[in-house]
Amino acid sequence: MSNKTTETSIKKEGFAFGKENYLFMIIGVIVIIIGNLLMIGGGSVDEKVFDPEIFNFRRLTLAPVVILVGFIIEIFAIMRKPKD
């Protein structure tokens, strides 16, 4: 077996993703967590009183968009070809 064949087989046995892929995955998870944190809160102190604060822009629009961006980052991280 030549050295070139051995080097090629060693390179193929590495991790499935590169360092940058894992970095993008971590960033995507952090963005998803931030989106979920934007949705929390706004509960009424008295259960018999309606609090319209649950229907604000942050909970209905901003948080789902942030979560969607996080999932797009995750898809990009998985689909990106690692550099050799």
Could you read off the pLDDT of 62-82 as tens digits, one per residue?
A: 999 999 999 999 999 999 987
CA gap 44, 50 in Å, rounded? 7
Structural domain contains residue 9: no
26, 71, 30, 37 alpha-carbon torsion, rounded to 10° = -160
Q: How many CA atoms lie within 13 A of 52 on its CB side?
A: 0
What is the value of pTM for the model shown? 0.76
CA gap 20, 81 in Å, rounded? 10
Structural domain contains residue 61: yes
- Residues of the chain whose pLDDT is less than 70? 1-13, 84
Based on the structure, what is the number of domains in the chain? 1
Structural domain contains residue 84: no
**pLDDT value for 25:** 96
Identify the domain containing residue 44 by its residue range: 21-79
Structural domain contains residue 57: yes
